[in-house]
Structure 1
Amino acid sequence: MTDELDIANRKILAELVANARIPISELARKVGLSKTPVAARIRQMEEMGLITGYRAILSPLKLGLTHVTYMEIRLSDTRQRALEQFNAAIRLIPEVEECYMIAGGFDYLVKLRSRDMADFRRIMGEKISTLPHVSGTSSYVSMEAVIEQNWLSPEE
């Protein structure tokens, strides 16, 4: 679908990712179109399912969630029912920021945010280790975020 996007749509998306609350008039000025075509393009991209919603992006640091851990999770059972049970259960853990099923030496890669190491240990003991079918984990603590972004370059 991104192959079908022209440069104007890419610019609109990049601006919306940077600031979803940008007024249409300012957005139109930044992308070099008038307000009506910009509004129509946004509506079309929403209808296409390219734009799925708008949300506030919170600062994990200001919320005290300074500890980032990436975890490999291995399951004892990878049949469809077991995967569905694990997926449903991990979605209920608010500290899990991202979770991906992986093809490789483990089954899931999880990004988890916590206040500190003690909070992480609590989450591990009370939540992660009790998830259905978990047979093992490996954790990697992030020392520094070099790049964290959610954007679409207008040139892509």
Structure 2
Amino acid sequence: MEKKLDRIDISILKLLQGDNSRPHKQIAGVLNRSTTTISDRINKLKTEGYILTSVAVLSRRKLKQEVLAYIHLKLSHCSDEIINTFKEDISRIKEVCECCAITGEYNMKLKIVTTDNTSFSSIQRNIANIKNVQALESYVVLDDIITDTGFFF
């Protein structure tokens, strides 16, 4: 049975989601708890799978990754075998940052980050040539409006 998070755990998660580099001592001060209590709770949240990993959010523009695009694609069938083969094939393309199964006309959504339009065009052709990809539609991002990596809970 999964335990219910208490108010302190939720507060810790919200603070870490905003800035994961925040020292435990600072979180302890904000929440009026001891540093040991905060460290123990964070370790428990990791062990229980609430915190999956800690990452730095990078500036794609500073790193000359100028093109952010989404590709919606349709697989010919959604059998386990076809989906597993697709997962293997798509995971080999390093510019694919995310791949989600979705509902609607298309059944997969990909997030692509790359250097320029020429590179994106090549990636798009490679994806179109993956076995069982029936159709795809691309959307190039013109402006980042909201880029929050967290979510509300």
- TM-score, normalised via structure 2 length: 0.89
- Asked if residue 140 in structure 1 is aligned to residue 144 in structure 2, the reply is no
Structure-2 residue corresponding to 1:67: 67
Large movers: runs of 4+ above 4 Å: none
SS at match of 2:92: coil
Matches within 5 A, 1:11-30: 11-30=11-30
- Structure 2: stretches of 5+ with no match in the other structure: none
The residue identity in structure 2 corresponding to 1:37 is T
- Structure 1: stretches of 5+ with no match in the other structure: none
SS at match of 1:43: helix
Q: CA deviation at 1:2?
A: 9.7
The residue identity in structure 2 corresponding to 1:82 is I
* Preserved CA contact (<8 Å) 1:14 1:152: no
1:65-124 superposed Cα distances (whole Å, 9 cap, x missing partner): 121111111112321100100011112211111111112211101111122221210111
- Asked if residue 32 in structure 1 is aligned to residue 27 in structure 2, the reply is no
Q: CA deviation at 1:50?
A: 0.7
Q: CA deviation at 1:148?
A: 1.1
| Distance across 1 between alignment mates of 2:120 and 2:2 | 38
Percent of residue pairs identical: 27
| Distance across 2 between alignment mates of 1:10 and 1:2 | 15
- TM-score, normalised via structure 1 length: 0.88
Larger RCO: Structure 1 or Structure 2 (Cα < 8 Å, ≥ 6 residues apart)?
1
SS at match of 2:103: coil
Q: CA deviation at 1:31?
A: 2.1
Matches within 5 A, 1:49-60: 49-60=49-60
SS at match of 1:77: coil
Aligned length: 153
- Asked if residue 94 in structure 1 is aligned to residue 100 in structure 2, the reply is no
* Preserved CA contact (<8 Å) 1:97 1:110: yes
